[in-house]
Structure 1
């Protein structure tokens, strides 16, 4: 097993995740099987209980793991499926160590950060890498060098570096190279960041400089001199038009050649499929606009939704532009036309809680009554059913038991959720199968009668109301026993809502079927 570890310095938000994912894509293009691990130093067991206002999107893995958005980048860039094991947190490590101590596994020893915590980190990394069957394991250490939270993980990295063969362990350090008022690239932050790493006993093999413009040769030479890496190992990661262009950009900078030489690897192939996909994206000659009706107001909360729209756009030769609409703003007016003027479709994504819900329901009614393509995801599915029950069936008080104890609960708590007391990891999570009715839009899009998609919800359509709803024209075209998975309106231009989150399985070269159908419908003007 060969390891590539990615760390970050100077400041957070530099793009370590994109750098790691792009590095993985480069290695995949050369014919190697790559897996990835994200280390998050927070004490939470996972990201599932974090506020979207603070953390952004919670990405759901196939086994139900709730993880950081970087796991989504790994899956999309490398076209792989990861599990909750591939997201290591401080909480997971300490929980395991404490459980071992309580069982007496340490045979009476005093349990300490070194060696017990660091050993647990190393053992977990090696086990995940081994069980993946990959040739190369990417490990991204979250946070910034110097953070107290990251110290045990960086110490484990230092130990692994000493224990593995030189060609089997490569450390990439991502830093900021700012530009001063005289338009000069400054290397001092990078020098200080590498100095901090060295004080921890770690010497980077490759330095990736995040900057607005390409690193000048003089800048690379200076970083090489002061940070003790070859000039060929100083890689410019300047601003890119699109994140999918970053692997190509890094390869042009020499990342692939240096990395392969460093690890003693020879290319097994030279796949151009990623480059072809990016070229197709650049060649798009049509534009459409989708209104995403959001209740959180932060784009990163819906990162996978945006990417899935992009994937469908690439496949259909168009650029999908997003117009953000605040659901609470829709609650203040009866005339929604100014909000949706010029848009080709409406999308209501997932979410929790009652705030902004009535605005979402108004948007869904607008799409249904104006024959505007509509795609609902999770909450957007439940609200589509509520809207239909209110305005077609005539149940004016139709609602969800999540929002109110009163009214007709057309959406109700899942039976297995009624005795749940802990919030973390207790929703209906991960991939679950569903069966698709033939001669429906869902069957046309998927082309199969059995699908498997990722879920994250506690509520479902009330089984007692399904027959009455379907009698009025809303078709539940996919089910898991008596659990509704997809709803659609056959007479509508495109009206589909899914209880699951299809965005999590969408890939740049394999777009999600519901998103692809949605984008195709928006193109039919």
Structure 2
């Protein structure tokens, strides 16, 4: 019997609904329940694939190739349950599907309307592939009262009536602001938000109140009285020192117990939160620290590299060290070598992440050169690997004109767009001037590693599967020239056509990967590449 938990947000955006959903799912999972989390996004983009990171943060990619909201990264990291294409839906995708049906004549001449057609499509999405699950948590993006989220609110209202209250629950996340001049927490915004939600036909069962100061019992009782919920169902949610402390914090406030009580389920004993206690212990009591310089393009917005940030943290947990991340704008390195040395000499390791476009590319190449020449641990991811190949071609293989066709015409296309490749579904094709959305090499692909390579020893295997998101590939025709320059191709696609990993055997730690390993890292299962990279940074710090 599958139960549905609908999570909405009110008052303001960015209250952390995704983190709340992930934390609640982790608590239910720790009690032995099978869970899955879904995200409903009200925007009209079909998916976030073509959106700027400055607009919406990173694009999270699933094994089956879906470009999704970054909240799905939280879901995976907290539960270990791999997300799927069916776990993220947008208004754009809903309307696209409906319009395609209308054009085919599937509606038999009926007038296509928001109700019932749009709301029915949303309900079908919510209920799809939910067999053998105990709980499905559905997070509604946006803020209650936004016009674009109304069809989703209406859909979950209908679902609550159709499935019954014994199988559905509404959790509303609100803000209880602190007015410094008055020295008081104010409950009125929460009251108004609940009133707005109730006017749309949904009475919340549990209120999660974000606040910067402890919520007094008097204010908790006041919220309960005005919002028509039990006092025990008003859950304070104070800021945490670490996102990985949130499940423990919510459990201490009784969130999981209240959710189970609302469903009429018995709370048998305490959940097994041992692995979360271990994570917090490792974070709170590090035995060292390292500083890693991330030379990127979107360093002004932390969410643009959300999974990368977390994967580096996981690498620190694995080695029981604190990882200090220094975000460095790649464009700063395009002025002088003196600027490069000033910025990078204090770093224990250097990482060049993924990205798109020419801006900052020469700065990234300069960072690769610094790491290679100074024997500083280097990790290149996606575009970072491509920049490592271009740097190697220019400075160790004698190809001074080496570049990428992504940046314009070049006589030495070390990196170029591919128009055809093999996947599990067969040959995939792409047109050079085709649509941008969904036309990259997306999702999990296998790679075969050289058994004598550094990466094979790190993985402990010759066969791996990693998630990809890129449109350009390293040109395999330059493999011999690059290897003569010391850059070894240690990982290839199974057919030997697409380079997946490069490394320098004469360097302490120099690895570039075409895929995004950060997407598969978990706090309780750090990705081996990040664990090894942070370990190399720690060894480098001891040499200084």
Distance 1:516 1:461 in 2: 26
What residue in structure 2 maps to residue 88 of structure 1? 89
Query: What TM-score do you get using the length of structure 1 for normalisation?
Result: 0.98
Which residue does the alignment assign to 1:477?
490
Partners of 2:364 and 2:214 in 1: how far apart?
43
Distance across 2 between alignment mates of 1:57 and 1:208 = 26
Aligned residue in 1 for 2:460? 447
In structure 2, relative to structure 1, the CA distance for the partners of 1:100 and 1:404 (3 Å cut) is: closer
- Determine whether 1:187 maps to 2:202: no
Report SS of the residue matched to 1:129.
coil
For 1:406 and 1:484, the matched residues in 2 are separated by: 20
Match of 2:58 in 1: 57
Separation (CA, whole Å) in 1 of partners of 2:266 and 2:346: 52
Q: Does the Cα contact within 8 Å between 2:245 and 2:276 map onto a contact in 1? A: no
Q: Is the 8 A contact 1:177 1:210 kept in 2?
A: yes
- Would you say 1:233 and 2:233 are equivalent positions? yes
1:273 aligns with 2:275: yes
Matched with 2:395 is 391
Structure 2 alignment gaps of length 5 or more = 421-429
Write the distance in 2 (CA, Å) between the matches of 1:420 and 1:215. Answer: 56
Once the two structures are superposed, the pairs formed by residues 144-155 of structure 1 within 5 Å of their partners are 144-155=143-154
2:450·2:462 contact (CA, 8 Å) conserved in 1?
Answer: yes
Q: CA deviation at 1:267?
A: 5.1
CA contact 1:31–1:267 (8 Å) conserved in 2 = no
**Of 473, 481, 489, which residue of structure 1 is paired with 2:504?**
489
- Looking at structure 2, the residues matched to 98 and 377 of structure 1 have their Cα atoms a distance apart, in angstroms, of 38
Q: State the shift of 1:341 in Å.
A: 3.3
Among 472, 489, 499, which residue is 1:459 paired with? 472
Q: Deviations over 1:209-244 (max 9, x none)?
A: 111122221221111011011010001111110111
Q: Are residue 363 (structure 1) and residue 352 (structure 2) matched?
A: no
Structure 1 residue 102, shift from structure 2 partner: 2.4
> What is the distance in 2 between the residues matched to 1:310 and 1:331?
29
Give the Cα–Cα distance (whole angstroms) in 1 for the partners of residues 228 and 385 of structure 2. Answer: 55
Q: CA deviation at 1:108?
A: 2.4
Query: Is residue 2:523 matched to residue 1:523?
Result: no
Contact 1:420 1:426 in 2 (8 A): no
Aligned residues of 1:86 and 1:128 also touching (Cα < 8 A): no
Tell me if 1:341 matches 2:345: yes
SS in 2 for 1:492: coil
Deviation at 1:19, TM superposition (A): 0.6
The equivalent residue for 1:302 is: 305
Describe the superposition over 1:105-135 as per-residue Cα deviations: whole angstroms up to 9, x where unpaired. 32322111111111111111111323xx321
Describe the superposition over 1:349-383 as per-residue Cα deviations: whole angstroms up to 9, x where unpaired: 00000011101110110011000001110000000
What is the root-mean-square deviation of aligned Cα atoms in Å?
1.2
| Structure 2 counterpart of 1:331 | 334
Q: Aligned residues, how many?
A: 523
How far the C-alpha of 1:247 sits from its partner, in A, is 0.7
Runs (4+) of structure 1 moved beyond 4 Å?
none
Matching residue of 2:158? 159
Counterpart position of 2:69: 68
Give the alignment of 1:375-454 within 5 angstroms: 375-416=379-420, 417-419=430-432, 421-454=434-467
| Structure 1 equivalent of residue 13 of structure 2 | 12
Query: Partners of 1:92 and 1:234 in 2: how far apart?
Result: 35
- In structure 1, runs of 5+ residues without a counterpart are none
Q: Is the 8 A contact 2:7 2:138 kept in 1?
A: yes
Match of 2:216 in 1: 216
In structure 2, the CA distance between the partners of 1:413 and 1:443, relative to structure 1 (3 Å rule), is same
- Does the 8 Å CA contact 1:7/1:142 hold for their aligned counterparts? yes
